[in-house]
Amino acid sequence: MVIGYTTGVFDLFHVGHVRLLRNAKAMCDKLIVGVSTDELVWYKNKQPVITFEDRKEVVANCKHVDLVVPQETMDKLDAHDRYKFDIMFVGDDWYKTDKWDSVETQLADRHVKVIYFPYTNKTSSTLINKTLENLRTE
């Protein structure tokens, strides 16, 4: 059995999230999704629009997802210790960044493959929030 793992905030759930989850599930038998807790989102000086519990429920009800877990830390090795995944799925906006080059090397030492999926440029929670903010100030 191939276990896949991905994480995200999944705030303002949109088509990019669906595509990530659908593509990830197509490459594994069991897909585990870490949803960032509200406290973890605040590390970026951001505040989620939708609460952790609600975001977790939305993701859990996606047909591509087998298990939703709280992501309380950015430590992917800790996540691997907990969930023993074989593949980690990440948006390609992280490809060849110093942070992910290091994570990828560390996971490779554990025989975990990192697969980068195309980032959805036309839609993101940040873009949706900015659009809504602009509409409210007009």
Positions annotated as catalytic residues are 44, 46
What is the C-alpha to C-alpha distance for residues 68 and 61, in angstroms, rounded to an integer?
10
Q: Compute the distance between CA of residue 3 and CA of residue 80 in angstroms, rounded to an integer.
A: 11
Using CA atoms, how far apart are residues 16 and 23, in angstroms rounded to an integer? 11
φ/ψ region of 10 (left if φ > 0, alpha if ψ in -120 to 50, else beta) reads left
